[in-house]
Chains A and B, each alone.
Chain A
Amino acid sequence: EPEVTQTPSHQVTQMGQEVILRCVPISNHLYFYWYRQILGQKVEFLVSFYNNEISEKSEIFDDQFSVERPDGSNFTLKIRSTKLEDSAMYFCASSGRGGYTFGSGTRLTVV
């Protein structure tokens, strides 16, 4: 069964550093997403991406965040200057006719 692949599974970074989270969506899906889950809380939508541009973003997705599809397979989330409160699980997802699939997540810890 097709999967959404996220790397790395865990990342520890120092406050103020830039971090890039990577995702490979399912190949025939056209819509891509990032979600965030702070420990013990619900999963929150960050951004959706379609046709090489952001289609919707939440109030969480401020100027510190950016997304990119640098080639035909990868979809990345960049946090420019990480803060302690960015510590969370970040999920990538993609959707198409076949469904809505999440990756296994990247646990980001900012110290």
Chain B
Amino acid sequence: AQKVTQAQTEISVVEKEDVTLDCVYETRDTTYYLFWYKQPPSGELVFLIRRNSFDEQNEISGRYSWNFQKSTSSFNFTITASQVVDSAVYFCALRGGSGGSNYKLTFGKGTLLTVNP
């Protein structure tokens, strides 16, 4: 069984602060994929990143960065110099890679980030 835990239900920061959203996962697959999605108030799921289990390099995209650590089964997401437009619910998700047609995503419960001006 696969599981994703986002222990932080809500985070509130002031604009320009850095913020880290935690994600811990469980899987028996040796190959798997991790995702982060942003869900703004309008409701759609906006893809942010996909990382496969063989690639532990950290990634940076503008103000966003991701820290993948297999040793602790974590895939944390940091927003540097947060902005009001970053306010949204952020979901971490896991997809198994065991082959066949089982490619469903297992989502965490999400973290509501509020960035105050």
Contacts and interface: CB of A to CB of B under 8 A. Distances in A.
Contacts of A50: 101
Contacts of A100: 35, 47, 50, 95, 103, 105
Contact of B107 (A31, A43, A95): A43
Contacts of A107: 43
The number of chain B residues touching the other chain, given as a range, is: 20 to 34
A110 interface: no
Contacts of A95: 103
B108 A42 contact: yes
A105 B46 CA distance: 11
Contact of A48 (B47, B50, B93, B104): B104
Contacts of B103: 31, 33, 48, 95, 100
Interface of B: 35, 37, 43-45, 47, 50, 91, 93, 95, 100-110
